[in-house]
């Protein structure tokens, strides 16, 4: 899924003429477990709540695919992303040493149980 900067504020669709993609996110769902493959927002849109909207969409999708839990990896030094995930109820469950190469940076593994409740409980959902 992606988000564009069209004046209508359209949330998740392809970029039309004169618009550009300012955020995207992807989820893999296998056997009741979701995995956040990617999530990113254009730098000039950081802090506008777009990251939270994309994550809300991912968790809604995970619920539709009957995921009981959602996992992700995040760089240990990416505190901004970690705060976003924590706000939705993700908790650290482990570390993968040297996961990000080059640079040999460790990944923090985070896990969310019950993605449906997380979306309904957040104050940064799609309508905020």
Ligand X SMILES: CC(C)(COP(=O)(O)OP(=O)(O)OC[C@H]1O[C@@H](n2cnc3c(N)ncnc32)[C@H](O)[C@@H]1OP(=O)(O)O)[C@@H](O)C(=O)NCCC(=O)NCCS
- Indicate the residue among 37 and 117 with the shorter CB distance to ligand X: 37
Q: Which DSSP string corresponds to 13-67? A: S---TT--EEEEEEEEEETTEEEEEEEEE-GGGTTTTHHHHHHHHHHHHHHHTT-
Name the minimum Å distance from CB 92 to ligand X. Answer: 13
- Indicate the residue among 51 and 115 with the shorter CB distance to ligand X: 51
Name the minimum Å distance from CB 73 to ligand X. Answer: 7
Give the interface with ligand X as residue ranges (CB under 6 A): 39-41, 45-52, 74, 78, 80-81, 83-84, 124
Name the minimum Å distance from CB 58 to ligand X. Answer: 11
- Indicate the residue among 66 and 96 with the shorter CB distance to ligand X: 96
- Indicate the residue among 29 and 40 with the shorter CB distance to ligand X: 40
Q: How far is CA 26 from CA 35, 40, 42, 62, 107, in A?
A: 9, 10, 15, 11, 18
**Which residues partner with 41 through β-bridges?**
23
Name the minimum Å distance from CB 2 to ligand X. Answer: 13
Q: How far apart are CA 46 and CA 49, in angstroms?
A: 7
Tokens (6 digits) for 75: 């760089």
Query: What is the number of the residue whose Cβ is closest to ligand X?
Result: 51
């Amino acid at each position: 899924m992606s988000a564009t900067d069209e004046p209508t504020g359209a949330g998740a669709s392809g970029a039309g003429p004169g618009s550009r993609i300012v955020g995207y996110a992807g989820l893999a769902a296998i056997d009741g477990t979701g995995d956040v493959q990617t999530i990113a927002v254009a730098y000039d849109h950081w802090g506008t709540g777009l990251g939270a909207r994309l994550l809300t969409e991912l968790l809604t999708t995970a619920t539709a695919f009957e995921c009981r839990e959602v996992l992700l990896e995040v760089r240990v030094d990416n505190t901004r992303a970690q705060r976003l995930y924590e706000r939705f109820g993700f908790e650290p469950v482990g570390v993968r040493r040297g996961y990000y190469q080059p640079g040999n940076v460790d990944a923090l593994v985070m896990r969310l149980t019950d993605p449906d409740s997380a979306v309904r409980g957040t104050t940064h959902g799609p309508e905020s």
